[in-house]
Structure 1
Amino acid sequence: MNVLLSPSLLGAGMLALALLPATSQAQAGGACERASSAAAARNACAVLDFQAADTAGTILYGDVMRALSAHERPALRKDQSAWSRERITGCKAAHARDEALDDWPARYHHCLQQATEARRAALMHWLQNGEAPPKQ
């Protein structure tokens, strides 16, 4: 029996699979075991924690974009892109000396998670004021 799936149905199915609760697997094949002292377990948990924070941040960003007026959205889009690039380059630079360590992925993803969680305040400022927070 040949079954053809429409692109939208296929996309919806893939999204549903992606949103299912993660088992204990993360990228690089490690299992997240919070009680473990093994680097692979810490790495896997850090990846999962970052992914959860990143998903929450992406949802908030989408909510803010929908709440802003059409003329405010391009500025937020530009600000979000700049922040995303800075988050990655900042965390890579902060942990460049650690790359040879077994737990480098945990250190890097923890940095990404912290930056992502800190971004929430800026997004909330956008939501309330329709503009970027003042530079500090």
Structure 2
Amino acid sequence: MNALFSPSLLGTAILALALLPGSSHAQAGGACDRAAADAAARNACAVQDFQAADTANTILYGDVMRALSAHERPALRRDQSAWSRQRTQGCKAAHARDEALEDWPARLHHCLRQATEARRAALLHWLQHGEAPAQR
């Protein structure tokens, strides 16, 4: 595998970007202030919370990739890519009617964070069993 695109390097890069000062401000349009009642603050906090969950997910994914055998890794890559697409499409579809609302970014990022946190169980299953969890 090309060292420039290794999962550990990708995880490190994402973590570094998430920790940059002001990264959540630029995407959310304001500073996160959990005590504030305005939409801009709620939006900023939701983006920040999503970024933290996404970073933790990326780190766990990298750890699982390193733990799996070489023949198990391609299946996890496909599964993670499919999950990522579904997460984005599902949350956008679920909140499409809210796009005109001032707090739409908060609603969207809350959905993305919940889906990302739920993915943890699937990644841990991969770690323990070397395969995707059974579909329900």
1:26 touches 1:47 (CA, 8 Å); kept in 2? no
Partner of 1:73: 73
Following the alignment from structure 2 to structure 1, what is the Cα–Cα distance between the partners of residues 16 and 59?
A: 17
**Rg larger for:** 1
Are 1:45 and 2:45 counterparts? yes
**Superposed displacement of residue 27, structure 1:** 1.2
Over aligned residues, Cα RMSD in angstroms? 1.9
Deviation sequence 1:44-89 (CA, Å, 0-9, x none): 0000000000000000000000000000000000000000000000
How many pairs are equivalent? Answer: 123
TM-score (norm 1): 0.84
- How far did 1:26 drift? 4.7
User: Which residue does 2:119 correspond to in 1?
Assistant: 119
Q: TM-score, normalised by structure 2?
A: 0.84
The answer as to whether partners of 2:91 and 2:111 remain within 8 angstroms in 1 is yes
Residue 103 (structure 1) aligned with residue 73 (structure 2): no
**Runs ≥4 residues deviating over 2 A:** 15-26
Tell me, which stretches of 5 or more residues in structure 2 are unaligned?
A: 1-8
Instruction: Give the match's secondary structure for 2:56.
Output: helix
Residue of structure 1 equivalent to 2:57: 57
Question: Structure 2 vs 1, CA of residues 133 and 96 (structure 1 numbering), >3 Å: closer, same or farther?
Answer: same
Q: Secondary structure at the match of 2:25?
A: coil
State the one-letter code of the partner of 2:75. A
Structure 2 equivalent of residue 18 of structure 1: 17
Equivalent residue number for residue 34 of structure 1: 34
Distance 1:79 1:102 in 2: 34
Higher helix share: 2
Per mean C-alpha deviation after superposition, the further-off stretch among 23-32 and 37-46 is 23-32
Q: Secondary structure at the match of 1:25?
A: helix
Q: List alignment gaps of at least 5 residues for structure 1.
A: 1-10
